[in-house]
């Protein structure tokens, strides 16, 4: 309860102008001189936003993240992160970002606490500071109780939370999350979302995430970039993207048959297209359907026409995704789940 109150308080504090924290310019990565995994992409991420990277498997999401987190060198093009060049000032970039990889990278033979301390050592954080931080972060992700247990006894959700804590150990301004909820059940996924929201709202952190899950991108991200075949095909807020493919659909039933109805509806603000589907029903394409629909009803009533039924359909991100990538999101989820199983098997093989 107190958390949400504070979050509201925070919003009232005037925010300073938000310059781009990530600036990507013509970034390209080709493997073996032929396959272009990432093909000339340019975009910006604003400070304080949750930016989502959406795309099918092999679209170039991970390759882009790897370049931005200085794991891979771009073939051409450049990017700056927090004002530092990813090639020339790689170490400064590494110091200012946190990374939560797709895989569970925590060492299974070590305790949760020891894993966080290992990360702290990799950032060169002095012990006096890191001990305090590790405990704070364990509290944040609710792993205090389990801190002295080996990671091999953790559940998938706990491991994911531990990865999150490790990624935050250097108090980064920008956190990269690669498929943060991959393979998690709905309940745990919701929990992870709430941590991500807290990071943005309470810590003013910028988050750059990739995801396969539509609901996730829709409810969590301020802006989304759709990437396919290494190219950036669309970028904008979830609402912009949905509006972009033609707006909402309003289906309307009338009591009286009227020749003037189509014309009347067409004049209402926000209506883009009216089609008479049958004698008494109409199919209307409109912007901001929830505001346009009442206006339509009002105009019709003023002209003595009565609406018998009305239905509003909002375009989903799935339709947006389908429109730009030619693939449905659902197919992707299956394959990523399969990959997860594959990873689990490998982990079992290791221990």
Partner 1 sequence: MSEPADPTGTQTEERSRGNETDEDGSVSRSPFHGLWALTNRELKKWYKVPVLLFLSLIQPVLWLGLFGKAFNLGGLITGGGLEIPGLSIPKEVLNQIAATFMENTFGTGDYFSFLAVGMLTFVILFTAMFSGMSIVWDRRFGFLNKVLSTPVARGSIVMGKVLSSVIRSLIQAGIVLLIAVLLGMDFSNFSAVSILGTFAALFLMTLGFSAFFLMLALRSGDYQTQMAIVNLLNLPLLFGSNALFPAKFMPEWLQAFVQINPISYGTDVGRQLLLGAPGMNTLAFDFAYLIGFATVFSVIGIVLSWRYLTK
* Residue selected from 14, 17, 32, 350 as contacting partner 1 according to rule CB under 8 A: 350
CA distances from 46 to 107, 141, 222, 260 (A): 34, 26, 10, 48
Q: Does 107 bind partner 1 (CB under 8 A)?
A: yes
To partner 1, the closest distance from the beta carbon of 142 in angstroms equals: 13
Q: Does 32 bind partner 1 (CB under 8 A)?
A: no
To partner 1, the closest distance from the beta carbon of 81 in angstroms equals: 11
Contact by Cβ (8 Å): 112, 141: no
Q: Does 94 bind partner 1 (CB under 8 A)?
A: yes
Q: Does 171 bind partner 1 (CB under 8 A)?
A: yes
Q: Does 119 bind partner 1 (CB under 8 A)?
A: yes
Where would I find the H helices in the chain? Answer: 2-12, 61-68, 90-96, 112-122, 127-140, 156-167, 186-203, 214-220, 238-244, 261-267, 289-302, 317-325, 329-350
Residue 225 parent element (H or E): strand 223-228
Give the C-alpha separation, 102 to 156, whole Å.
12
Q: Is the dihedral of CA 283, 236, 178, 50 positive or negative?
A: negative
Q: Does 3 bind partner 1 (CB under 8 A)?
A: yes
Q: Does 33 bind partner 1 (CB under 8 A)?
A: no
Q: What b/e sequence results for 317-344 when a residue is b if at least 16 CB atoms lie within 10 Å of its CB, and e otherwise?
A: bebbbebbbeeebeebeeebeeebeeee
Q: Does 143 bind partner 1 (CB under 8 A)?
A: no
* Residue selected from 77, 101, 180, 230 as contacting partner 1 according to rule CB under 8 A: 101
Closer CB to partner 1, residue 73 or residue 255? Answer: 73
* Residue selected from 72, 162, 220, 329 as contacting partner 1 according to rule CB under 8 A: 72
- 86 is written with which tokens? 């990813």
Q: Does 124 bind partner 1 (CB under 8 A)?
A: yes
Contact by Cβ (8 Å): 184, 100: no
The interface with partner 1 within residues 274-303 (CB under 8 A) comprises: none
What is the 8-class DSSP label of residue 111?
A: B
Q: Does 103 bind partner 1 (CB under 8 A)?
A: yes
* Residue selected from 99, 143, 196, 241 as contacting partner 1 according to rule CB under 8 A: 99
Beta pairing class for 35-46 and 50-54: unpaired
Give the footprint of partner 1 on this chain (CB under 8 A): 2-3, 6, 66, 69-73, 91, 94-97, 99, 101-105, 107, 109-110, 118-119, 121-126, 129, 136, 139-140, 166, 170-171, 173, 176, 202-204, 346-347, 350
């Amino acid at each position: 309860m107190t958390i949400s109150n504070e979050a509201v308080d925070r919003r009232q504090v005037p925010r300073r102008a938000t310059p781009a924290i990530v600036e990507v310019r013509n970034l390209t990565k080709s493997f073996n001189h032929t396959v272009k995994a990432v093909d000339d992409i340019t975009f910006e991420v604003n400070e304080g936003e949750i930016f989502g990277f959406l795309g099918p498997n092999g679209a170039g999401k991970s390759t882009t993240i790897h370049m931005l987190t200085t794991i891979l060198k771009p073939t051409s093009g450049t990017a700056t992160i927090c004002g530092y060049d990813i090639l020339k000032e790689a170490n400064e970039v590494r110091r200012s970002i946190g990374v939560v990889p797709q895989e569970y990278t925590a060492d299974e033979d070590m305790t949760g606490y020891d894993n966080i301390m290992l990360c702290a050592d990799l950032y060169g954080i002095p012990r006096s500071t890191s001990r305090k931080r590790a405990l704070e972060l364990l509290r944040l992700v609710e792993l205090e109780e389990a801190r002295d247990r080996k990671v091999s006894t953790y559940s998938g959700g706990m491991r994911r939370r531990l990865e999150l804590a490790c990624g935050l150990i250097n108090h980064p301004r920008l956190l990269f999350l690669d498929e943060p909820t991959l393979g998690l059940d709905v309940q745990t996924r919701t929990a992870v979302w709430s941590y991500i929201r807290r990071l943005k709202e309470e810590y003013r952190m910028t988050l750059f995430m990739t995801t396969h899950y539509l609901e996730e991108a829709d409810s969590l991200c301020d802006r989304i970039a759709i990437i396919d075949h290494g190219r950036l095909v669309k970028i904008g807020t979830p609402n912009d993207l949905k509006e972009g493919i033609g707006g909402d659909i309003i289906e309307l039933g009338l009591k009286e048959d009227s020749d003037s109805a189509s014309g009347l509806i067409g004049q209402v603000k926000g209506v883009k297209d009216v089609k008479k589907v049958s004698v008494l029903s109409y199919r209307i394409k409109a912007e901001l359907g929830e505001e346009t629909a009442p206006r339509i009803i009002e105009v019709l009533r003023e002209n003595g026409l009565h609406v018998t039924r009305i239905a509003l359909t909002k375009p989903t991100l799935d339709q947006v995704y389908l429109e730009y990538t030619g693939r449905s999101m659902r197919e992707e989820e299956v394959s990523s789940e399969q990959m997860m199983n594959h990873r689990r098997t490998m982990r079992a093989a290791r221990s």
